[in-house]
Structure 1
């Protein structure tokens, strides 16, 4: 250690200006790619690593010529919609939306076919189709036609006809799928054991091209949404208009997070500045810690920019956490420095600084390593954004430790702080009251801790792994209000597809002619090459109708569309009579070509023997539990309706998001015991005592359990943001435990008296712990002003975690040390 100290002194402390100049050069290099730092909220950022659901989602969309890449504009006029003036106002809005560059087309009540006419039948359907735009259908007649259709109510028009919707289609360019296929082929080429350097270079090039394309498409999407919002604003004088759709949800999530990073990043820094100024009352102890925090974030963001490593919704909190960790390290150094100033007021500043570094580098190193272990558990989650979050925190904590013990001392060498008059006083700090309470009311501390542990366990058992997108946004935000309108009046928000694959062809028992058997090819699947691949038999359509009716009966589902909807529509055309077996067989020929993409191909793929049910889930439903819903549908289709498990496939954003949530639960909650075992092993390595390691685990378990238990009691579900609170809490609680135990060990060696040592620790390291906690709680309290609910939860639970970790380290931890005497007998 002395050789390291000598080298550290000669290279760093004795040449502060040169060392700081080198560091400034490093900051300049990092800043060259700060503009490459970006947020990613694409579908891939919300799914599991190598999750087949994303590939299936893309395949099904291409197979059934469908897409979720559209915006929904809800339109509720102040006056009656179905008047000449009302439809003219809607048409003006629609026409402006169609002029936006990225918009491919729009669907609305103005251009959809009104399959409602006195002369309309299956034989005349091709000639008698009318539209409001093309045929000047009277408004009231159009209203009747739309409401009588099984297709449009609760989709393009509300059941009370007061609200309608314009679907603004944003087609994905073919180039995207070409680049996607190139990237997948390049990835497959490097998975083998004999990967060549040229294959790796090809992958890097294709990844770069795909990234450039997705960034361009994201920028175009954001610009399109801004244009649509501007158009809506111009038409909102006489109508209540809202915007919705998956692209808007993604764009708004990114926008809220970007605003939080910038606006609340500045706000948090201001709060930290004020709190540090109130606590230390010296400008150096305000500026230097803030500079260290800023340098840490700067370097990490610069590295992410150079590595072109995007930040996702989950990992966006890493900036706030780096502020916490860096500030914690610097405050511990500040308090220790001021303690040495108190002990030897006449010592040279450099000597005081060297003593501070020597005293604090070991516990701070232990703290950094153990916290890295806590966050390192995230890398085993199987979810790419969570894995990235774990690695970012690992890198960030390493940078924070280096900044604290390189840049912080250099700044003190350049700006040596004078002795504060309060440092030389012998006032009893507030933290010593906790020592007195622990000394005289230790039994009460243990009793309260035990009761709290029981309540925590009960609260953890009440946790659920679920959340609705609508719960991410405050009620007064446009996106929240739009989701409510879409759910209540227009059939639901979140897409879910149920795919049914046809049965394998049954055996023909040697009969080549189906008419020579008892099988009617227009009713049943006879198994011959000519008919076995068709869905349009009476038997199959009857089963699909039963599936449709079941899905539509579920309280969590809104609008359900399938081939059954088309058959209901054709039955309405057929004078209200259901189609017979012969008419069913000729449905593909009876539907006009210009309606095939609306009525048939979105629901039936003859080539792949698959039928699709398009479902919109009600995000506002209080009973929405995605995993339970999927399990219930799977059970009904396989056990009640006789489909095999291989025949039923779920896909869509609902499935991918649910897969991520379930994996988060498995990896973080069910394996949190493994995380604590890893920390336990670190404690054994650091303290070389099983008894001390067990004692050190107690406040960590209580702090983590308190946060999760509180979420359970309050009914706040675990989702992609709140699930990481467990790892964050463990990382925070571990810091206080390590610092306190290390200081207790040092102080105990002076007189080997446990109670006296406890009081000294509370007056020294306890003060540093309290300063850290107060500063962070005050700084992160500003996050409650965010419009993004996960950011609010993050701020609240981070503050609560700091409070519980502090209370545990100042009461339960010292009481257990006094009780079990892990450092040996007293003198």
Structure 2
């Protein structure tokens, strides 16, 4: 420790102003790029590191000219919808939305073809199509035409005809896909080791350009959504209106996170400061922790801004966690400083500060490095945002430790605190009650811990990984209400695409000739080997696709299902209600007018790639929604009952990407916790140089982590992209208390070799610091329950519960095991 004494005596204590000025310069540099700090809730932030579903999703969207880049405005007028007044209000709203700068087009019951006319047939469909916008159609006739059309009910209009939807299209510029494609190609080259130095440089440039373009598009989209909301507000006195759609879900998630980072970040800090003021009753012990916490968060945010490292839904809690960790370090220093003041009230402030730093730097370093290992284990997850979160916390904890042991002593050198009456007091602190309870009821402690462990195991076994986007938002929020309305009346929220590929044609001389065999595929059920394969529009293929459509539509979790079968139903209606015969099927591509191709054909059939698409909307409000089970059921039915090969069936869309991440959570959680406990066990062996002490130290950590996961299981709260981090956070918190307590116990035990007396002394000293830390954090994080973002509420509640369980375990189970096993050698 001699070099540490020299470091403080020659560098920190004599020049505190210089140290703080240099540090202030560092803060200024960090703040130069704060405008680059950004949040990311894009599709890429919700997928696995090596998940190709996002690429498949984009490929399907481009191949079938479909997109989920649109907003849905639900419109339920106070008056009758299909009246002159109701349609006039709808038209006015539609026109205002369509006039927005970044809206490419809108779809509504006003401009879609009614496909209802006495003279309408397959031959006259091009000339007899009518719309509410372009023709003088009686409202009641229009209502009947829309509700009788297989395409529109439960999509653009509710089945009762009272609610309709306006689809507001927000197209993604082609430049986005160009940059994305180039970046991914270069990434693959770099990952495979085949990239040249020039290509590596180009990757960096393209990546920066892609980030800048994405950010600019995000800003444009946010402005557009704000403008849409402003327009809707002006119509709410005439109709019940809700806003939904994938872009809105993303925008609102970012909005809630930003609000939580600012409002609740400040709120948490205020709660923490009030608690510190009540506990210590000296302004120095409020100001100095405040500055240390603020500097830590400021520097880390500055670094993320300079590195252009986005914060995602998962890593958005890093600010709160850095406050916890920095505050924990400073409180331990404050309590130890006051202990030295109590023992030697006449000592010089610098001597007291030096003793505090030298006594606490070792356990605090152990605490920091072990917690870094705990959070660093998140980098073993396969989920990109979780990996980023692990690295952010690793960097943040290192910064927190350095600030605590450089800035804290510099500030305290300038502001030495007086010895107050509370420091001079010899009263026994509240924490000694835990020591007395542990001493007198040791068996109860062990039995209670065993019962909790059993309950934890049962609770963990009940954990699930299912969740819906709707569960992230309170029922009072617009986004929640919009999802409910869209699910109940307009066919579902989250998109799922099922794409099937046609059978490959066998090698034969008659390939491409529909009459090369004796079987007529237009009217007969031919053997697949003899089927005419140059088109989807044969009787057999359409019949098979219809069976797939009917199956998907029959599932309770699905809302609206659209496919080529929907188009054929529409054309059958045009055909006088008669299904198309085999010959009419063959001429469907040429019979559909060109201006209807993008509505009736292109989204469902890709002749070029021999693929057919089924567009499904999943009911997020369904209480029985189990994504993985649903996807497995669909795939098994298509490959088993329907006879498709496995490589002929592709499931994609936001539902699949989100599910892939959810289903990785169990594996990721087991892997993460396994790595965490293994790493902590190794760290304990290094720190304490005793297998027995390492095992004793693991016990409260296991109980704390198991309690949080077990409670989630008992309460039916699923693992999701937010709660996955709770267990690792809990371990990181519990480790702090364990290390501090064991280190102090070892130091105190050397005085008299009495385990019971040592336990009481530890509870009155380090136990008090642990209690103050836990009380402050639990109180501070209680404000998070006021958030509108449910994951933030869970984070606040589970963080508080984790602190409580870690404290109780460290003050009861840990000392009981030490007293029972007696791992220390009695001093000679």
TM-score interval w.r.t. the shorter chain? over 0.9
1:705 maps to: 706
Give me the whole-angstrom Cα distance separating, in 2, the residues matched to 1:311 and 1:466.
24
Structure 1 position 315, deviation (Å): 0.4
Preserved contact between residue 783 and residue 792 of structure 1 (Cα < 8 Å): yes
2:103 maps to: 103
Structure 1 position 677, deviation (Å): 1.5
| Per-residue deviation, residues 311-356 of structure 1 (Å, max 9, x unmatched) | 0111000000000000000000000000000011111111111110
Give me the whole-angstrom Cα distance separating, in 2, the residues matched to 1:19 and 1:826.
42
Aligned runs of 1:144-163 on 2, under 5 Å? Answer: 144-163=144-163
2:809 maps to: 808
Q: Cα distance 1:194–1:591, how it changes in 2: closer, same or farther (>3 A)? A: closer
1:357 maps to: 357
1:818 maps to: 819
2:731 maps to: 730
Give me the whole-angstrom Cα distance separating, in 2, the residues matched to 1:66 and 1:32.
41
Q: CA RMSD in A?
A: 1.5
Q: Cα distance 1:76–1:535, how it changes in 2: closer, same or farther (>3 A)? A: same
The runs of 5 or more residues in structure 2 that have no matched partner are none
Q: Cα distance 1:576–1:690, how it changes in 2: closer, same or farther (>3 A)? A: same
| Per-residue deviation, residues 441-487 of structure 1 (Å, max 9, x unmatched) | 01111111111111111111110001100000000000000000000
2:191 maps to: 191
Alignment of 1:36 onto 2:29: no
Alignment of 1:125 onto 2:129: no
Give me the whole-angstrom Cα distance separating, in 2, the residues matched to 1:805 and 1:528.
67
Give me the whole-angstrom Cα distance separating, in 1, the residues matched to 2:193 and 2:607.
40
Give me the whole-angstrom Cα distance separating, in 2, the residues matched to 1:526 and 1:594.
36
Alignment of 1:759 onto 2:760: yes
Structure 1 position 125, deviation (Å): 1.1
Residues paired across the two proteins, number: 827
1:665 maps to: 666
Alignment of 1:67 onto 2:67: yes
Give me the whole-angstrom Cα distance separating, in 1, the residues matched to 2:512 and 2:539.
21
Give me the whole-angstrom Cα distance separating, in 1, the residues matched to 2:512 and 2:178.
44
Structure 1 position 508, deviation (Å): 4.1
> Which range is displaced more, 316-325 or 639-648?
639-648
Structure 1 position 9, deviation (Å): 2.2
TM-score by length of 2: 0.98
2:254 maps to: 254
Structure 1 position 573, deviation (Å): 1.4
Give me the whole-angstrom Cα distance separating, in 2, the residues matched to 1:579 and 1:506.
28
1:171 maps to: 171
Give me the whole-angstrom Cα distance separating, in 2, the residues matched to 1:549 and 1:529.
26
- What SS is found at the alignment partner of 2:421? coil
1:566 maps to: 567
Give me the whole-angstrom Cα distance separating, in 1, the residues matched to 2:513 and 2:205.
57
Aligned runs of 1:97-496 on 2, under 5 Å? Answer: 97-193=97-193, 195-496=195-496
Structure 1 position 18, deviation (Å): 1.1
| Per-residue deviation, residues 383-438 of structure 1 (Å, max 9, x unmatched) | 11111100000000000000000000100001001112111111111100000000
Preserved contact between residue 512 and residue 528 of structure 1 (Cα < 8 Å): no
Preserved contact between residue 521 and residue 531 of structure 2 (Cα < 8 Å): no
Give me the whole-angstrom Cα distance separating, in 2, the residues matched to 1:686 and 1:243.
56
| Per-residue deviation, residues 536-594 of structure 1 (Å, max 9, x unmatched) | 11111111111111111111100000001111111111221111111111111111111
- What SS is found at the alignment partner of 1:503? coil
Give me the whole-angstrom Cα distance separating, in 1, the residues matched to 2:567 and 2:61.
19
2:800 maps to: 799
Structure 1 position 522, deviation (Å): 2.2
Give me the whole-angstrom Cα distance separating, in 2, the residues matched to 1:593 and 1:108.
19
Give me the whole-angstrom Cα distance separating, in 2, the residues matched to 1:389 and 1:516.
62
Structure 1 position 197, deviation (Å): 3.5
TM-score by length of 1: 0.98
Aligned runs of 1:613-692 on 2, under 5 Å? Answer: 613-692=614-693
Structure 1 position 519, deviation (Å): 2.2
Give me the whole-angstrom Cα distance separating, in 2, the residues matched to 1:656 and 1:131.
37
Give me the whole-angstrom Cα distance separating, in 2, the residues matched to 1:609 and 1:29.
57
Structure 1 position 138, deviation (Å): 0.3
Structure 1 position 507, deviation (Å): 5.0
1:774 maps to: 775
| Per-residue deviation, residues 785-819 of structure 1 (Å, max 9, x unmatched) | 00000000000000000000000000010111111
Give me the whole-angstrom Cα distance separating, in 2, the residues matched to 1:591 and 1:19.
77
Preserved contact between residue 442 and residue 815 of structure 1 (Cα < 8 Å): yes
- What SS is found at the alignment partner of 2:191? coil
Preserved contact between residue 508 and residue 528 of structure 1 (Cα < 8 Å): no
Structure 1 position 229, deviation (Å): 0.4
Structure 1 position 209, deviation (Å): 1.2
Give me the whole-angstrom Cα distance separating, in 2, the residues matched to 1:729 and 1:801.
5
Structure 1 position 182, deviation (Å): 2.5
- What SS is found at the alignment partner of 1:190? helix
Structure 1 position 674, deviation (Å): 3.1
Preserved contact between residue 521 and residue 539 of structure 2 (Cα < 8 Å): no
Give me the whole-angstrom Cα distance separating, in 2, the residues matched to 1:136 and 1:514.
45
- What SS is found at the alignment partner of 1:389? helix
Give me the whole-angstrom Cα distance separating, in 1, the residues matched to 2:248 and 2:530.
46
Give me the whole-angstrom Cα distance separating, in 2, the residues matched to 1:822 and 1:688.
11
Preserved contact between residue 459 and residue 711 of structure 2 (Cα < 8 Å): yes
- What SS is found at the alignment partner of 2:385? helix
Give me the whole-angstrom Cα distance separating, in 2, the residues matched to 1:533 and 1:6.
84
Structure 1 position 181, deviation (Å): 2.2
2:558 maps to: 557
Give me the whole-angstrom Cα distance separating, in 1, the residues matched to 2:5 and 2:473.
52
- What SS is found at the alignment partner of 1:132? coil
Give me the whole-angstrom Cα distance separating, in 2, the residues matched to 1:284 and 1:38.
34
> Which range is displaced more, 616-625 or 4-13?
4-13
Preserved contact between residue 507 and residue 527 of structure 1 (Cα < 8 Å): no
Q: Cα distance 1:529–1:4, how it changes in 2: closer, same or farther (>3 A)? A: farther
| Per-residue deviation, residues 97-116 of structure 1 (Å, max 9, x unmatched) | 00000000000000000111
Preserved contact between residue 498 and residue 612 of structure 1 (Cα < 8 Å): yes
Preserved contact between residue 498 and residue 650 of structure 1 (Cα < 8 Å): yes
> Which range is displaced more, 803-812 or 15-24?
15-24
1:547 maps to: 548
1:790 maps to: 791
2:719 maps to: 718
2:599 maps to: 598
- What SS is found at the alignment partner of 1:558? strand
Give me the whole-angstrom Cα distance separating, in 2, the residues matched to 1:722 and 1:516.
61
> Which range is displaced more, 412-421 or 3-12?
3-12
Preserved contact between residue 512 and residue 533 of structure 2 (Cα < 8 Å): no
Q: Cα distance 1:512–1:575, how it changes in 2: closer, same or farther (>3 A)? A: closer
Give me the whole-angstrom Cα distance separating, in 2, the residues matched to 1:160 and 1:66.
27
Give me the whole-angstrom Cα distance separating, in 2, the residues matched to 1:127 and 1:195.
57
- What SS is found at the alignment partner of 1:423? helix
Preserved contact between residue 506 and residue 527 of structure 1 (Cα < 8 Å): no
Structure 1 position 525, deviation (Å): 7.1
Give me the whole-angstrom Cα distance separating, in 1, the residues matched to 2:42 and 2:744.
47
| Per-residue deviation, residues 142-169 of structure 1 (Å, max 9, x unmatched) | 0000000110000000000010000000
> Which range is displaced more, 17-26 or 387-396?
17-26
Give me the whole-angstrom Cα distance separating, in 2, the residues matched to 1:177 and 1:509.
41
Preserved contact between residue 737 and residue 810 of structure 2 (Cα < 8 Å): yes
Structure 1 position 194, deviation (Å): 5.8
Give me the whole-angstrom Cα distance separating, in 2, the residues matched to 1:470 and 1:771.
37
Preserved contact between residue 525 and residue 532 of structure 1 (Cα < 8 Å): no
Alignment of 1:535 onto 2:541: no
Preserved contact between residue 517 and residue 530 of structure 2 (Cα < 8 Å): no
